[in-house]
Structures are given as structure tokens and as C-alpha cells.
Amino acid sequence: MLGRVPEYRNLIGGELVRADRTMDTVNPATGEVWAQIPASGAREAEAAVAAARAAFPAWSAMPALGRAHFLRKVSELFGRHAEELARLETRDNGRILRDTLKKDLPGMAYLWQLAAGQCLDAVKGDTVVLGPDTLGLTRREPYGVAVCIIPWNSPVSTFSAKAAYALAAGNTVIVKPAEQASASVLRLGELLAEVFPPGVLNIVSGLGEEVGDALVRHRDVAKVSLTGSTATGQAITRASADALKPLTFELGGKSPNIVFPDADLDAAAQGVTVNSVYTGNAGQVCVAGSRILVHRSIWDDLLGRIRRICAGLVLDDPLDLATTMGPIVSAGQFERVRSYLETAEKEGAELVFGGRAGAEVVPGLPGGYWVAPTLYTTEDNGLRICQEEIFGPVAVAIPFESDEQALAIANDSPYGLAAGVWTRDLGRAHRFVRDLESGTVWVNTYRQMPPGLPFGGVKDSGYGHDSVLEYTREKAAIIQI
């Protein structure tokens, strides 16, 4: 403890370790410092890599069912500590408690169970008879030390999606959480120190350009997985080029949500607002459907429904279960979102509602980073608010008149992470699933991300996806009998 503020520590080699420096973590609903976290650098990165490297031989040689036993223990841990972790995460990043507690954390217990069940998949290979006296076979092997870099918007969930599969495959792991929201993951590290053998799982927090860069460049790191911005993915690609590390990137998005006249408009309005860009994490999700493409024949009707839904949103203390939309995560992100509100006005987009940023949005919580739910309209998909990821509760509606025009607008983006299609026409649904340049397409729903299905993007949204096989490499052998 430092004064009245709790201090969290890194997990390195099975021990909770202080870094040389610390930094403040801020409650985004109030702007107040509530904890301190390690501001790790090259020294802590070196120690974590050394611990993970030392633990790798025994962990990778352990039978798959032995590793599964450890992963099931993590699942049980989530069952006991879900509420504590949910409250920590909400306090740290502003994601409303009704989402962290009711949606995110319960699913993590299942995800670790699922990963435990896939430990055997990581050691399966194929056999090929090459001739009467020649046999070919393949085997899968873990990479070694895997670095998992996770974002601030859903830290515990993303931690689980990466670490569980990497560990199941036999890798040892170093998790680097985002500096804006590390506390819940560091607390999880305290709990997991009692589960895994020393060095199998390590957690090191700090600035990306310091500890993150040191980890990515380290010659003993064999695999890197990132969920984050496209700019961060580009930086990691450059930093890891000398060692030619295999990379998995789930990056940014500017996802289209396309509503056709035959759609269930009540469901569609709910899907493009509550389930997409406004509630929960205030639009701070990579798959936010922040481009709402609406057929011109239902333009006024759908926008009216969207307006009514957003008028009923409750912006308040994110720890209150009645709250339906939280704050922006940090002062820096708040300024970024506010700059896009100014950009939209300069570009000539028409404001439908919202457009406000600052403490006046939620008078009862002064000092926090609040932006009102905001909707613009435009006919020009080339505007910056249509092409660039804002990462806030800001959407833009664009009209279209034909399937071909809708598809052209949807694909006119540097990103390709996700898309939504709202229609009762089965043929149209299948055509858009086929033709949308997107890693995931939801039809008559949005933002369902069940464990067990791949999740990744194309174009500037990255490549690969977190799975057991993604954390293995394949080796071939030819045996002359």
C-alpha cells in the first residue's frame, strides 16, 4: 500500500515483484487516482523472459492432460472471484458493471474449460503412408515463450482468450496489459500465482514503448499476439522484424451495420445501438458498428427508433447496475474522441443528437471523462468520421439505395474486422456473408463472440486469431522403415 491507494505488483517467476517505478491508475468516471501499478521497463522484461524461458522445458514436456488440469483450476478460480475482478475492471476502465459482471467474467470460466479440453489438439499430428517402406508424419510443437499484449477495454477477457490457448498449447506466457487498465489483470496474477508452476505465466505492466518494446524485441520471445490498435500492430511488426517472430494481430475496426427494409426494425435499432456502439463500454470496442448503413426507404423510421433508444440510456456511476453507458477510459482517449466531434462539424456532417463532451454530460460525477451518445449523418463515406476508428460513443449513419451500393460503401474502408447485416432475405444474407471484406459477419444480431469460433480481421484489422493451433508450429518427419 502507498498511503490509502492500493499498489499492484508484477507476477514474475511465481513471485509478486515491485518494479523500479510505479504509475497512477485513474478511475475514468471521476478522474481520481485510485491505485498504483508497475511502470516496468527493460529490467522487468528481461526478468520475465528469463523466468518464462526457464519454465518452458518442463511445461511443454508435461502431458496434455496435465496442462488441462491446471487450466481447469483457473476456471474454478473464476467461479470464485468473478465479482471481485468485475468490480476492479469497471473501476479501472469504466466498462459498466452489468457487462463485466453479467457478460464478461462468467464466460471466462467456460473459456478456460474449453481451452483445457483442447490441450490434446495441440499434440495431434497426421500420418501419411508415402510408400511401402516410408512413413510421413507431422507433429505440433509449442513456440516457446509467447508474449500476449492486451487492450484496456476488456482486459480480463482478452487475457483469458490469449493466455488460456497459449498455455494449453505448451507455451509459457508473458502478458503485458495496457497501462490505462492493468489493475484487474494484476490482481488476477496474484490469484494465479497459486495455480501455475513458477514462470509458466508472468504479468508485467508498464508503458508499451518501454516494457512492451523490450518484450517484443527480445530474442528469446518466440511468438507475439496483440489485441490493440493498427498503429501498435505496425510498430510491433517493425520491432520484431529482425527476429522474424510469428505474429497474431486483432486490430482496429470501422465496422458497417447494414439495415435493409425487410429487417425487423425494432431488433435492428437495438442491434446498432445497445449491442454495438453506445452502451457497455461507450463505443470503446474494436467491433463497434460505428457506420450505420440504412436503406433510404426506412431512413426516417430507423433513425427515429435509434434516437428514442439513446434517449433512454443511463449515464452514471458504472458500478451502479442501473447504468447502461460508462465513461471514456482516460484523459488522452477523451481528447481524441472530442477532437472527432470537432472534425465532424468541420467536415459538414449533420448532427442528429449528442455531440457533447465534458463533465456537464454527467453532472453528478464531475471530473470524469464523459461523452454523450452521438450520431451524425452524411452521404459521403469518405469523411474522416467514416474512415477512421474513433473508439467512443460516436456513430455515423449513411443512406443507400441498393444491395450493390450498400456492399460498396461497407467495403470502402481500410479496416475489415466485423460487419452486421439486418435482413429476412436468406439469399441476401449469404451473399453479404460471402462478399463483405470482414473477419466476422453477424446476421440479425451483433457482437456475439462465443468461445470456439475464430475471431480476427482482414486488411488493417490484422490477421490470425487466438486458438490452440495458432500457438503451435507444425513439424514434418519422414521415416524410412
| Residue range 163-194, pLDDT digits in tens | 999 999 999 999 999 999 999 999 999 999 99
> Are residues 234 and 309 part of one domain?
no
> Are residues 306 and 242 part of one domain?
no
Distance CA(230)–CA(243), nearest Å, equals 21
> Are residues 465 and 407 part of one domain?
no
Q: What is the mean pLDDT of residues 417-442?
A: 98
> Are residues 163 and 121 part of one domain?
yes
Which three cell numbers mark 315? 449515464
**What's the pLDDT at 3?**
53
Decide if 22 is inside a domain.
yes
Q: What is the mean pLDDT of residues 323-332?
A: 96
Distance CA(361)–CA(358), nearest Å, equals 6
pLDDT in tens, 29-44: 999 999 999 999 999 9
Q: What is the extent of the structural domain holding 344?
A: 256-451
> Are residues 278 and 232 part of one domain?
no
Decide if 194 is inside a domain.
yes
Q: What is the mean pLDDT of residues 406-434?
A: 98
Distance CA(375)–CA(290), nearest Å, equals 9
The CATH number of the domain holding residue 170 is 3.40.605.10
- The more confidently predicted of residues 452 and 462 is 462
Decide if 325 is inside a domain.
yes
Which phi and psi angles does 237 have, rounded to 5°? Answer: -60, -45
**What's the pLDDT at 363?**
87
Which phi and psi angles does 300 have, rounded to 5°? Answer: -65, -40
**Contact, 72 vs 112, CB < 8 A?**
yes
Q: How confident is the model at residue 241 (pLDDT cuts 50, 70, 90)?
A: confident
Q: How confident is the model at residue 365 (pLDDT cuts 50, 70, 90)?
A: confident
> Are residues 219 and 186 part of one domain?
yes
- Buried/exposed code over 154-165 (b: 16+ C-beta within 10 A; e: otherwise): bbbbbbbbbbbb
**What's the pLDDT at 94?**
95
Which three cell numbers mark 241? 522484424
Residue 2 has pLDDT above 70, yes or no: no
Distance CA(144)–CA(147), nearest Å, equals 10
Terminal Cα-to-Cα distance of the chain (whole angstroms): 65
Q: Among 188-192, 201-205, 278-282, 378-382, name the one with the lowest average pLDDT.
A: 278-282
> Are residues 158 and 301 part of one domain?
no
The number of C-alpha atoms within 13 Å of 100 and in the hemisphere containing its C-beta is 32
Decide if 322 is inside a domain.
yes
**Contact, 184 vs 152, CB < 8 A?**
no
> Are residues 263 and 197 part of one domain?
no
- Predicted model pTM: 0.95
> Are residues 439 and 335 part of one domain?
yes
Residue 346 CB coordination number (10 Å) = 9
**What's the pLDDT at 169?**
98
**Contact, 451 vs 111, CB < 8 A?**
yes
- Residues involved in catalysis: 250
**What's the pLDDT at 5?**
87
Sheet with 291-295, strands from edge to edge, namely 350-353, 374-377, 394-400, 291-295, 256-259, 418-422, 440-443
> Are residues 434 and 332 part of one domain?
yes
Decide if 3 is inside a domain.
no
> What residue has cell string 503412408?
129
Number of domains in the chain: 2
Distance CA(232)–CA(377), nearest Å, equals 30
Decide if 33 is inside a domain.
yes
The CATH number of the domain holding residue 291 is 3.40.309.10
Residue 196 has pLDDT above 80, yes or no: yes
Decide if 154 is inside a domain.
yes
**What's the pLDDT at 1?**
40
**Contact, 126 vs 133, CB < 8 A?**
no
- β-bridge pairing 472-480 and 134-142: antiparallel
> Are residues 280 and 411 part of one domain?
yes
Tell me the average pLDDT of the chain: 95
Q: Among 58-72, 265-279, 426-440, name the one with the lowest average pLDDT.
A: 265-279
Decide if 456 is inside a domain.
no
> Are residues 467 and 444 part of one domain?
no
**What's the pLDDT at 103?**
85
| Total count of residues recorded for the chain | 481
Which three cell numbers mark 110? 467456460
**What's the pLDDT at 31?**
93
Residue 334 has pLDDT above 90, yes or no: yes
Distance CA(291)–CA(396), nearest Å, equals 5
Which residue type is seen at 185?
Answer: V
Q: How confident is the model at residue 342 (pLDDT cuts 50, 70, 90)?
A: very high
